[in-house]
Amino acid sequence: MKTLSTLTLSALFAGLAPLAQADVKPDPGDYTALPKGTDVVVLYQQNPRGDKVYSGGKKVADNLDLDMTVGVLRLIHFTEFFNTGLTWDPQIVIPFGYQKVGATDSKNSGLGDITFGGTVWTIADLAKNEHLGWSVFVTAPTGSEKNQGFALSSNRWALDFQVGYIKGLTDKITWDVIAETEFYDEQRSTAAKKDPLLQLHNHLRYNFTPDTYAAISYRHNWGARETLDHETLATSRSNGTLGFTVATMLGKQVQVMGQLMHDTSVREGVKIDNSLQFRLAYFY
């Protein structure tokens, strides 16, 4: 395979971990506005695996042997938005994990870049199953192993805007659609520049009962070309991901979720063959 420099690896891995950057990927149901006063503690485990690396739509490596184990702690509080009567949910997202790249015999572990922000809902109707939320998330360059190709540490500030809409199409079928734009500061140690990233997330859920559902998801992203001194480090993305989710409540306070994600197309970056994710949420 071609030799991949540390700087190139850092650019390739920047979008791997779903909750590690400003890119706080919304799961099915995440744009549901819960009653004010609700607190949620969410713990994720993700296990992305990938071998093939693409640049400009062409495969440049096929034995990367990427193996990651990522944990994410997410703390959410639903409350009133500054006496407006609207609901919002200030939150913090703390990623941590382990990464092994067999092709370069490199191993990294530690804390990732922390994200904070929240969503304000202008439609929040649990009875009609309709919600419209507007989100802002900021990611700070707090991660360890900076500039060592660690996917959880991009060593730059990032700003993420999302708008999410949930609509119950029938008593059993719900559609979630989320549009997203991310903006990036210069990479702090190299001054590498990164263009904005656009993303679209779609989830189609079938609700077996009010507490149990299955969902098919498709995500696609565009942009995020990265340059240093007018030289291209990473071309613009046009990457697609297909996912399947099953979730259920265990009693009134605990939800468990399992997901399988697979990249269907990758123009730029590492193609994730399969990524298993498990999520445990506690509501109180």
Which tens digit of pLDDT belongs to each residue from 67-124? 999 999 999 999 999 999 999 999 999 999 999 988 888 898 999 999 999 999 999 9
Q: Where are the domains of the chain?
A: 6-283
**Cα 8 to the center of its chain, rounded Å:** 21
Q: What is the CATH number of domain 6-283?
A: 2.40.128.130
CA angle 152, 157, 159 (to 5 degrees): 100
pLDDT bracket for residue 144 (50, 70, 90): confident
Write the Ramachandran bin of 268: left for phi over 0, alpha for psi from -120 to 50, otherwise beta: beta
Write the Ramachandran bin of 199: left for phi over 0, alpha for psi from -120 to 50, otherwise beta: beta
Of the chain, the percentage scoring pLDDT greater than 90 comes to: 80
- How many other CB atoms are found less than 10 A from the CB of residue 28? 25
**Cβ distance 190 to 7 under 8 Å?**
yes
Which tens digit of pLDDT belongs to each residue from 37-56? 999 999 999 998 999 999 99
Q: Which position has the token pair 């690396």?
A: 53
Write down the pTM of the prediction: 0.90
